[in-house]
Amino acid sequence: MRYVDPEILEKANRWLVPFFDAETQLAIKELIAYDTETLDDSFYKSLEFGTGGMRGIMGVGDNRINQYTLGKNTQGLANYLKKEFPSEAIKVAIAYDCRHNSKSLARIVAEVFSANGIQVYLFSDLRPTPELSFAVKYLGCHCGIVLTASHNPPEYNGYKVYWQDGGQLVPPQDKEIIEEINRLDYTDIRFNANEQFIKYIDKQVDQAFADASVNNGSAQVSVEARQNLKIVFTSLHGTSITMVPRVLEQAGYSQIGIVQEQATPDGDFPTVVSPNPEETEALKMALEQADREQADIVIGTDPDCDRLGIAVRDQNGKMVILNGNQAMVIKTHFLLEQWKRQGKLDGSQFVGSTIVSTPMLQKIVEDYGVTYMEGLTGFKWIAKMIKDHPELSLVGGGEESFGYMVGDFVRDKDAVTATLLICEIAALQKEKGTTVYQYLQDLYKKYGFYREALVSMVKKGKEGAEEIQRMMATLRQQPPTTIAGSRVTSVEDYLPGTKTNLLENISESLDLPSSNVLIFNTEDGSKIAARPSGTEPKIKFYISVNGPDEVTLEAKIASIQSDLKLT
């Protein structure tokens, strides 16, 4: 007989009662009998809220996405909403992406809310995540839910929670809601739907979102310039096909070549290894089509349409993919220049970013006399900046992981509006006889050359999670004193919230919430951050280097990767 951890078996047996459906019970019995490794991973912990909500592999158990784990979340959230708004008619908006079970899970979430007497506005078909953020404010909802696992592999799904401002949950509400959820048993979930509280929404919100995207993403671009820009777009089998072409066409773009092989929503993502526009391979078909059609720009979005990959032609006419930092500095500089020309920069504006993004952004923002704010990884922190500083207007917000938002009408990264914005930039550059690539080179010449690299190490399962913990512990207990021959001058540890100047042996407090992130700054201006992912079984290392020219920067990155054994 196979050995089963008694603690794991006890947790699994709690699911073998009549409250759980027969299919779930059978699946658990088969795991106990034949697959103790998967059983362990399914029950060794409960799914937790991370950087982008809750994500996990679909299946049975406490550590899986299923109707019971999501039902429990929803019941806890419903209880919390009723406590927070005791005298109001509570309203919730729900959307979902192209993933397997997203539609059925969204319906279950809607049913639980309705069973608790909460009005639900449910999209009848898949929609981009930024449209859900928009819908929360547009419909005057108290919160919103989107069923998505963003760019994770096909076996994943997830559950993001948005608050009244359209931003994702942040402290202290996230912890308060988690405490409410943890007080519940699965048998406390109300699954009995009350249909009078479920209303389907589509066209009204779609048009309002499209109008707002065009209004916020447009610049002063001529009709001819837009019509002359050749675009290749791929939705990578995701939700953006429902909105990106529509917004581009509404703005006046007519030459939009859609990668038809990837246009149909499909949770298996059959034409790519990973539906992540951060990966070069994901844009392969779009790049090939761009060369066939002699397109000027390639856009690819992730499945829930909050991230976008961008490729443009270099000085030799070859398509090159911009990394997230490069795309972010181009869009931010362009917006700042637009605001400046329109006389709108008066000292009451800001730009938001994250601690693992390029330091180049701060140099650009402060050059325009605009406030620069930096938060932890995730756009929920930029949304919090907006809420915490009503006296300031957001010009734009971005992070290295291919996300950007224009203004604050959406309080999350928004590939719909960001796509329109980069096309506006490309159209203007083409009309002037230059390119987006040259725009970037001009920024490097003015502000200094920067290069970034991201190294992600996948560590799956319980053992992987423990290995990631050991890696972070080692970096804290035995931190490097030099990296690639350059002395480490300071260490930022966001877990205790301290920054230590190693040259003067002085520590100061960091004014950000506790997070498992380490940043090492070196004498030559390099910055290396280590951070376990909040949404995937990975540990990530973010590297940023800079200098007066770009010749030595790639070699410097390679040296850092070798020194830290990241290759």
Task: Report, in this order, helix, strand and coil percent for the chain, each rounded to 5.
Answer: 40, 25, 35
Q: Which amino acid is at 474?
A: T
User: C-alpha distances in angstroms, 533 versus 88, 108, 408?
Assistant: 37, 28, 26
How many beta carbons lie within 10 A of that of residue 230, not counting itself? 17
Hey, what are 235's tokens?
Answer: 């939705």
What is the SS3 assignment for 403-436? Answer: EEEECCCCCCCCHHHHHHHHHHHHHHHHHCCCCH
Exactly one of 42, 114, 150, 353 is catalytic; name it.
150
Hey, what are 279's tokens?
Answer: 């990966």
Polymer length of the chain: 567
Query: Cα torsion at 262, 331, 245, 136 (round to 10°)?
Result: 100
DSSP one-letter string for 65-133: BSHHHHHHHHHHHHHHHHHHSTTS--EEEEEE-SSTTHHHHHHHHHHHHHHTT-EEEEESS---HHHHH
Residue holding tokens 């506006």? 424
Q: Please provide residue 387's backbone torsions phi and psi, each rounded to the nearest 5 degrees.
A: -70, -35
List the strands of the sheet with 371-375, edge to edge.
371-375, 349-354, 393-399, 403-406
Q: Please provide residue 503's backbone torsions phi and psi, each rounded to the nearest 5 degrees.
A: -75, -35
List the strands of the sheet with 231-234, edge to edge.
256-258, 231-234, 297-301, 308-313, 319-322
**CB burial readout 503-539, b (16+ within 10 A) else e:** eeeeeeebeeeebbbbbbbbeebbbbbbbbbbbbbbb
Cβ atoms 414, 406 nearer than 8 A = yes
- Which of 341, 276, 280, 282 has the alpha carbon at shortest distance from 302? 276
Hey, what are 80's tokens?
Answer: 């919390």
**DSSP letter (8 states) at residue 173:** H
**DSSP letter (8 states) at residue 162:** E
Q: Is the dihedral of CA 204, 206, 209, 210 positive or negative?
A: negative
- Measure CA of the first residue to CA of the last residue in the chain; give whole Å: 42
Question: Is 150 considered catalytic here?
Answer: yes
**HSE-CB for 281 with a 13 A CA cutoff:** 8
- Angle at CA 488, nearest 5°, toward 483 and 494? 105
**DSSP letter (8 states) at residue 58:** B
Peptide bond between residue 128 and the one before it cis (omega within 30 degrees of 0): no
Catalytic residue list: 150
